[in-house]
């Protein structure tokens, strides 16, 4: 009788457990959030933790970082919050720390944030080979788009210039400016692109060609001190000393007046070939 009783008890207990499992499965289903719902939730987190919390504190403060961390605790897949953690660190020169955060943003949304990371590598961290790798990957995936007002090819050319691979720099600047003219016309050339194109020719010893390019830049930005400075050096090399000295004096006056490289990020980083006036 005892064996029969135990067998019945075990069977009944097993049956009860099965019923409980079925009840749990019915009363507590897994809720799948739609893409629209996920996006809306992320926008709420960004609003709460970036605009309403982090925005109240100074850019470089720990309090701002804590607000962003709280948002990422709720959803670590919000690439924009990772980028916002990285950005002030780059502006403080804390490149390695910032790069850890921007890498996470790129992992989540490469099309949006890889161009920014590549720009940081070239202009801020000055890791030119790594910057070229990022930009060439972007070219393969998305074509020659823009980041911070300049094309991917511009940044690659600038990187080659800084690596003293001068022929490569000149070739890619030539290609990039040709594409700009085809798309926007002669007026579509950017004065900074022309400056560095001229610098590549200057570094290769082609001063007459460099002057032609520098003159194009000066038509766009007539008081651009760096262009005048390097044009003056070219004139001196061509034994046009008096003209060179006059232009150098003009360049110094314009440089001291602030007519220098006028990129937004120049307040944080000194650009290649920028003169200390």
What CATH number labels 190-277?
A: 1.25.40.10
The predicted structure's pLDDT at residue 6: 43
The predicted structure's pLDDT at residue 32: 64
- Helix ranges, 120-151 (H): 128-142
Residues of the chain with pLDDT under 70: 1-32
The predicted structure's pLDDT at residue 36: 86
Interval 42-63: pLDDT, tens: 999 999 999 999 999 999 999 9
The predicted structure's pLDDT at residue 28: 46
**Cα dihedral across residues 232, 236, 238, 239: positive or negative:** positive
Tokens of 53: 């919390």
The predicted structure's pLDDT at residue 35: 83
Interval 163-207: pLDDT, tens: 999 999 999 999 999 999 999 888 889 999 999 999 999 999 999
Select the CATH number that applies to the domain covering 49-108 from these four: 1.20.120, 1.25.40, 1.10.287, 3.40.50. 1.25.40
User: How does 92-116 read in b/e, with b if 16+ C-beta sit within 10 Å?
Assistant: eeebeebbebbebbbebebeebbbb
Tokens of 119: 């720009």
The predicted structure's pLDDT at residue 11: 43
The candidate with the shortest Cα–Cα distance to 227, out of 203, 211, 242, is 211
- Provide the residue ranges of all domains of the chain, joining segments of one domain with +: 49-108, 118-186, 190-277
Distance CA 252, CA 241 (A): 16
- Helix ranges, 28-127 (H): 35-46, 62-74, 79-91, 95-108, 110-119
């Amino acid at each position: 009788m005892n064996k029969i009783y135990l067998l019945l008890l075990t069977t009944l207990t097993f049956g009860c457990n099965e019923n409980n499992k079925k009840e749990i499965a019915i009363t507590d289903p897994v809720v799948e959030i739609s893409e629209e719902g996920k996006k809306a939730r992320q926008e709420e987190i960004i609003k709460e933790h970036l605009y309403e919390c982090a925005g109240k504190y100074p850019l470089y403060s720990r309090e701002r970082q804590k607000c962003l961390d709280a948002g990422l605790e709720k959803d670590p897949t919000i690439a924009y919050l990772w980028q916002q953690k990285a950005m002030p660190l780059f502006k403080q020169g804390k490149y390695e720390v910032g790069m850890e955060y921007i890498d996470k943003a790129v992992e989540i949304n490469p099309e949006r944030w890889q161009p920014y990371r590549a720009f940081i590598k070239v202009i801020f961290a000055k890791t030119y080979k790594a910057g070229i790798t990022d930009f060439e990957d972007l070219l393969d995936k998305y074509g020659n788009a823009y980041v911070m007002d300049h094309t991917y090819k511009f940044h690659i050319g600038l990187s080659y210039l800084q690596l003293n691979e001068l022929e490569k720099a000149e070739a890619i600047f030539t290609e990039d400016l040709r594409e700009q003219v085809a798309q926007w016309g002669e007026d579509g050339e950017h004065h900074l692109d022309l400056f560095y194109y001229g610098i590549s020719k200057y570094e290769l010893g082609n001063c007459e060609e460099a002057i032609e390019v520098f003159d194009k830049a000066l038509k766009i930005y007539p008081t651009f001190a760096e262009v005048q400075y390097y044009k003056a050096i070219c004139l001196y090399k061509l034994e046009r000393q008096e003209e060179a000295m006059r232009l150098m004096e003009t360049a110094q006056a314009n440089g001291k007046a602030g007519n220098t490289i006028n990129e937004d990020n120049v307040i944080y980083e000194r650009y290649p070939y920028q003169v200390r006036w």
